[in-house]
Amino acid sequence: MRGMRGMKKLFYRVGLAAVVVLCIAGATPFSAFADTPGATSEQTAPVSDEPASDDYDGTVYEYDPDAPWLYYDMTEEEYYEEFEPWRITGQTEEEYWDEYWDEYDERMRVSFLNDYGFTDTDISNIAVNGQALNFDEAKPVVRGGAIMIPARAVLEALGADVSYDGKSKTMTADVGDARAVFTMGDQTALVTRNDLTTETELAAAPFIDGATASAYVPLRALAEGLGFEVYWDDYFKLAEVVDKKALVAEIDAKFTVFNAMIRGELDSYAVGGNSEKAERTDINLKAQLSARYDPDYSYYSYYEDDGPSNVTESNTKAEGKIKIISDGNGVDATGNISVEISGFEDILGDIDQDAELKAVFDDLKKGVPFDVIINYADAAAYLHLPILSHIDPLLNNDTWIISQLEDYESYIDLQTDRMIDAMEESFIEGDGDITLGNLFYMKAFEQSYSYYSGLNRIEYLRAAVRLLEPFLGDLYMEKNGDVYTISLNRLELFNIFRRLSNDEDIYIGGYDYAEMLADIPVANYKLEIKEKNGAPVSVEIAVNAKFKTESYYYSEDGYVEFHYGLASELEARNVSVDFSIAAENLDGIESGEFSVHVDAVSAPTNETPRAKPPAGVRTVPVSDIIDY
């Protein structure tokens, strides 16, 4: 399977980059649900001036450090009890938390559980598809390190059919084509899925509780045997049972067109296809940074003078060509990037007076060659970058840097790689698919590190859907022939944000809507997916925005203008990305722009990637260069 991870990951990340940009666009103060999909919102109803609460009297208090309770609309006693309780007890802050932290922590845990509908917080709590499951007389218990549950209550919450045979003392649970059979007192269970029956060893034997006459079975064995996922949150002592297939299907039903585009994009780059055939990708990139700025500017400049004292012009250009060969054995990349710098003398100094620095910049201007080889079998990466000889003479043209890939796992976040790998394995084996539903599910549940606990992961998923649906969802798409389009103008985006700001599960922050609209003179978004014979053949994404910024340094307010564009031709197997950001009258920058353009074309090739550097060259472990 590792043979699919070369170019496949490169182009899959291009697709993920587009999704990430859309997520960012959805979180900026000009995005959320449009009032009328596809309609022109110039005639949208005006923003309401009604106060957010019936109890609000309209008084706005500035924060006063001597009376902070007024700012929070509290009494003095309420404020100290909520924010600074040590002042009430007469202790220092450190003394207070040393004594009361455990009590406070437990109170917060119970408060969260109560907020999510759990009434008994002294037991192992169970949630089914995000809903709290409360028990009357028969409650969960722990035996042999396993959570034992009163089976009928949980199974009915899962939609299972339950039967009990008193003569054989067996309990049978059926969900779809899955069946689990438990025998009281027997530490094995029979699980049938896809017409295959297996015997499963249990952590503890099922039993009948004499006081309630309820049949108890191990939660994990029961749920997983029937095809559900089980996640444990140790802090909340919460076991969450999730119907992954149903939840992913619920999400994906809203993004059928975009998901088809993802599948077409990945299919065109051989994901799940012929991994034995090598791929060649040629990348051309151009970047430019130009600016007129005041090198004497500092954060405090506007206190000291009324404007720029010295304007410097600079311009930097970069161009590069990269060739990547990838097959089942690894990846081989070669390239050359040239950089020409003009200006920035205030930052870089007089380059001509520094021989070493001048040599570096001369090399950059002529072009910097490089080679990267990744060998899957050896789990090794090799880098050849001769310009490093200016830093260390030993890193010359005959020297390659070698790194064992596992060396980095202790300090580089590999969560995205693991998530992609898991999705690809699922896709390849045929028991899953690479879709937005799976992507969000894995982000919420299956990454080892997540901000989301068992109490809010389902809410996170559904909130993410509400956030992205206006930008990628079927509901907002207009179909004209074989072309699907979502096009949102400034006022439509504004109304989207206004509605999202009232969504309790999506934090965007409070804004003065009319002021916000005035501060964003330009904002538009477009997604276009073209089909041919019912299959997607191309996708284009464009995001443009212009933000007004206050300027203390210049006499006029400033602006920041942003553009992102992506175009992918699936049949031609090429991707083009444009990104630019420009600023005017911003923190010492009179005007400036940074832009990047990347073209990538992929095709099968008879070439094979190099497995190692050429014979006779010197290799240096990366640990000899970088102390990590």
What does the pLDDT look like over 275-320, one tens digit per residue? 467 889 999 999 999 988 777 665 555 545 555 556 778 889 999 9
* Amino acid found at 169: K
Six-digit token pair at 300? 């405090």
- Alpha-carbon distance of 31 to 39, in angstroms, equals 16
Of 540 and 115, more confident: 540
Of 83 and 418, more confident: 83
> Whats the size of the chain, residue-wise?
628
pLDDT-based confidence at residue 442 (cuts at 50, 70, 90): confident
Q: How far is CA 428 from CA 243, 271, 276, 379, in A?
A: 22, 8, 14, 22
Cβ pair 123, 110 in contact under 8 A = no
Cβ pair 573, 566 in contact under 8 A = no
Q: Which of 7-11, 229-233, 249-253, 420-424 has the lowest mean pLDDT?
A: 7-11
Six-digit token pair at 604? 């099968």
Residues 6 or more apart from 29 whose CB is under 8 A from it?
497, 508, 509, 511, 516, 520
Of 268 and 359, more confident: 359
Strand, helix or coil at 43?
helix
Residues 6 or more apart from 129 whose CB is under 8 A from it?
241, 242, 243, 246, 247, 458
Instruction: Say how many C-beta atoms besides its own lie within 10 A of residue 293's C-beta.
Output: 23
Residue 98 has pLDDT above 60, yes or no: yes
Q: Calculate mean pLDDT across residues 561-577.
A: 91
What's the pLDDT score for residue 505?
A: 60
Cβ pair 271, 4 in contact under 8 A = yes
Residue 382 has pLDDT above 90, yes or no: yes
Q: Calculate mean pLDDT across residues 323-348.
A: 84
Six-digit token pair at 219? 């939660």
Cβ pair 337, 319 in contact under 8 A = yes
What's the pLDDT score for residue 3?
A: 34
How many Cα atoms are found within 13 Å in the side-chain-facing hemisphere of 201? 2
Determine if the pTM surpasses 0.85.
Answer: no
What does the pLDDT look like over 363-380, one tens digit per residue? 888 999 999 999 988 888
Residue 412 DSSP label? S
Element (H, E) at 332: strand 330-342
* Tokens 């006029």 belong to residue: 556
* Tokens 């924060």 belong to residue: 63
What does the pLDDT look like over 23-38, one tens digit per residue? 333 333 323 323 333 3
What's the pLDDT score for residue 369?
A: 94
Give every strand in the sheet of 178-183, ordered side by side.
161-165, 170-175, 178-183, 188-193, 196-201
What's the pLDDT score for residue 309?
A: 59
* Amino acid found at 491: L
- Alpha-carbon distance of 181 to 172, in angstroms, equals 5
* Amino acid found at 237: K
Sign of the CA dihedral with 390 first, then 394, 400, and 406 last: negative
Average pLDDT, the chain: 78
What does the pLDDT look like over 229-253, one tens digit per residue? 888 888 888 888 988 888 889 999 9
Angle at alpha carbon of residue 13, lines to 12 and 14, rounded to 5°: 90
- Alpha-carbon distance of 315 to 192, in angstroms, equals 68
Residue 419 has pLDDT above 60, yes or no: no
Closest to 320 measured CA to CA, from 373, 385, 368: 368
Q: Calculate mean pLDDT across residues 454-465.
A: 78
Instruction: Say how many C-beta atoms besides its own lie within 10 A of residue 443's C-beta.
Output: 18
What does the pLDDT look like over 45-55, one tens digit per residue? 333 333 333 44
pLDDT-based confidence at residue 21 (cuts at 50, 70, 90): very low
Q: How far is CA 525 from the centre of its chain?
A: 20
Residue 609 has pLDDT above 90, yes or no: yes
pLDDT-based confidence at residue 540 (cuts at 50, 70, 90): very high
Residue 430 has pLDDT above 60, yes or no: no
Strand, helix or coil at 76?
helix
pLDDT-based confidence at residue 56 (cuts at 50, 70, 90): very low
Helices (H), 349-482: 355-366, 415-429, 436-441, 457-472
Residue 576 has pLDDT above 90, yes or no: yes
What's the pLDDT score for residue 29?
A: 31
Cβ pair 549, 304 in contact under 8 A = no
* Tokens 């130009």 belong to residue: 290
What's the pLDDT score for residue 428?
A: 41
Closest to 131 measured CA to CA, from 151, 107, 158: 158
Residue 448 has pLDDT above 50, yes or no: no
